[in-house]
């Protein structure tokens, strides 16, 4: 009985596998390649949130020569509309001096969208007038470019029209729309991609790392944090 109850000794632990210095070096290099990218493969500037969160479309000569506009579309369907970098008004001496949302029978700046269902949103066509931008000698009608519900206009432009001269692709955006999916599919093929527009005009904005947030456009009752952040430099 004493022999049967004797404690069984555990086998000695297996010594850890030893790797040669050459193998250690190879593993370290593989890990470094996965974690730390080659500097030569990095873009000159980090991608902006516009590049990350939006698909960028452009329309050239919309209804009139030189009337170039952009439509930045978020995956949730929101479309941000504004003046493209080659818009004729931005080339005028002195730039844009005033923005007027009173077009025809409707003043877009008086629109008050409320509630989760976006009551009072104006339903506009792609060629509907959105606003007028004025220079010292001319005025230009800016169009909606998309068919859909107008959720927000950038009323900062009324008091700060110079935002169009300095940051038309950022703080100087003009409006936010929510097209129906079917309407978007009908129109999107008419637009140019970012690369196509850049090749056509030879210029586009240069993204860096500054940021700002669009407020007010909150479709489907999403939290404010879920609204697309419209960022660029």
Q: Are residues 149 and 122 in contact, defined by beta-carbon separation less than 8 angstroms? A: yes
Q: Is residue 36 part of a domain?
A: no
Cα separation, 178 vs 222, in Å, equals: 14
Q: What is the pLDDT along the chain (233 residues), one digit of tens a residue?
A: 555 556 667 777 776 666 666 666 666 677 776 666 666 766 676 666 677 788 999 999 999 999 999 999 999 999 999 999 999 999 999 999 999 999 877 777 777 766 666 676 788 999 999 999 999 999 999 999 999 999 999 999 999 999 999 999 889 999 999 999 999 999 999 999 999 999 998 866 543 333 333 334 444 343 333 344 343 33
Q: Which of 127, 126, 122 is nearest to 107 (CA)?
A: 122
Q: Which of 175, 182, 199, 186 is nearest to 58 (CA)?
A: 199
Q: Is residue 143 part of a domain?
A: yes
Q: Are residues 204 and 198 in contact, defined by beta-carbon separation less than 8 angstroms? A: yes
Q: Is 216 helix (H, G, I), strand (E, B) or coil?
A: coil
CATH of the domain at 202: 2.40.50.100
Cα separation, 113 vs 216, in Å, equals: 9
Structural domain including 152 reads: 55-226
Q: Is residue 168 part of a domain?
A: yes
Q: Is residue 150 part of a domain?
A: yes
Tokens at 212, concatenated: 């700002």
Q: What is the pTM of this model?
A: 0.69
Q: Are residues 195 and 203 in contact, defined by beta-carbon separation less than 8 angstroms? A: no
Quick one: DSSP state of residue 119? B
Q: Is residue 82 part of a domain?
A: yes
Angle at 199 between CA 194 and CA 204, to 5 degrees: 55
pLDDT (0 to 100) of residue 186: 92
Quick one: DSSP state of residue 17? P
pLDDT (0 to 100) of residue 169: 87
Tell me how many domains the chain contains: 1
Q: Is residue 33 part of a domain?
A: no
pLDDT (0 to 100) of residue 205: 53
Q: Is residue 165 part of a domain?
A: yes
Tokens at 5, concatenated: 């109850």
Q: Is residue 50 part of a domain?
A: no
């Amino acid at each position: 009985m004493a022999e049967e109850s004797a404690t069984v000794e555990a086998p000695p632990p297996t010594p850890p596998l030893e790797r040669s210095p050459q193998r250690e070096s190879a593993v370290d290099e593989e890990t470094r390649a996965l974690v730390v990218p080659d500097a030569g493969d990095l873009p000159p500037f980090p991608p902006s949130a516009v590049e990350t969160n939006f698909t960028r479309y452009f329309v050239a000569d919309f209804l009139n020569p030189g009337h170039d506009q952009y439509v930045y579309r978020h995956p949730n369907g929101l479309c941000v509309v504004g003046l493209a970098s080659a818009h004729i008004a931005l080339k005028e001496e002195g730039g844009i001096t005033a923005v007027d949302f009173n077009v025809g029978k409707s003043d877009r700046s008086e629109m008050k969208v409320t509630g989760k269902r976006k009551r009072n949103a104006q339903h506009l066509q792609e060629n509907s007038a959105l606003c007028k931008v004025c220079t010292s000698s001319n005025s230009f009608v800016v169009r909606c470019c998309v068919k859909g519900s107008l959720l927000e206009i950038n009323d900062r432009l009324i008091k700060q029209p110079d935002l169009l001269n300095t940051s038309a692709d950022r703080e100087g955006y003009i409006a936010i729309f929510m097209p129906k999916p079917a309407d978007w599919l009908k129109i999107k093929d008419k637009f140019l991609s970012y690369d196509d527009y850049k090749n056509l005009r030879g210029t586009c904005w240069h993204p860096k790392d500054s940021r700002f947030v669009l407020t007010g456009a909150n479709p489907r009752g999403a939290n404010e944090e879920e609204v697309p952040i419209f960022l660029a430099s």
